[in-house]
Amino acid sequence: MMMGILSTFPSYGKTKSKSPYDERRLLEQNKRIQKENNAPEDFPSFIREGFEVKVVAPENYMKSDSGLIYRDFEVGEGDCPKDGQQVTFHYVGYNESGRRIDSTYLQGSPSKIRMGTKALIPGFEEGIRDMRPGGKRRIIIPPELGPPVGPSTFFSSKQFEVFDVELLNVKDCQRRTIGFYSDVVCN
Instruction: Express each pLDDT in 4-35 by its tens digit.
Output: 655 554 433 444 555 665 888 888 888 899 99
The more confidently predicted of residues 99 and 23 is: 99
Instruction: Provide the pLDDT for residue 42.
Output: 86
- Judging by beta carbons within 10 Å of its beta carbon (0-12, 13-18, 19+), is residue 150 exposed, middle or buried? exposed
Is-contact 72 58, C-beta < 8 A?
no
Is-contact 40 93, C-beta < 8 A?
no
Instruction: Provide the pLDDT for residue 14.
Output: 40
Q: What is the pTM of this model?
A: 0.82
Give residue-wise pLDDT tens across range 131-181.
999 999 999 999 889 877 766 555 556 789 999 999 999 999 988 888 888
Instruction: Provide the pLDDT for residue 13.
Output: 40
- Predicted confidence (pLDDT) at residue 118 exceeds the cutoff of 80: yes
Q: What is the percentage of the chain residues whose pLDDT exceeds 90?
A: 52
The more confidently predicted of residues 3 and 57 is: 57
Is-contact 90 105, C-beta < 8 A?
yes
Helix or strand run (H / E) with residue 21: helix 20-36
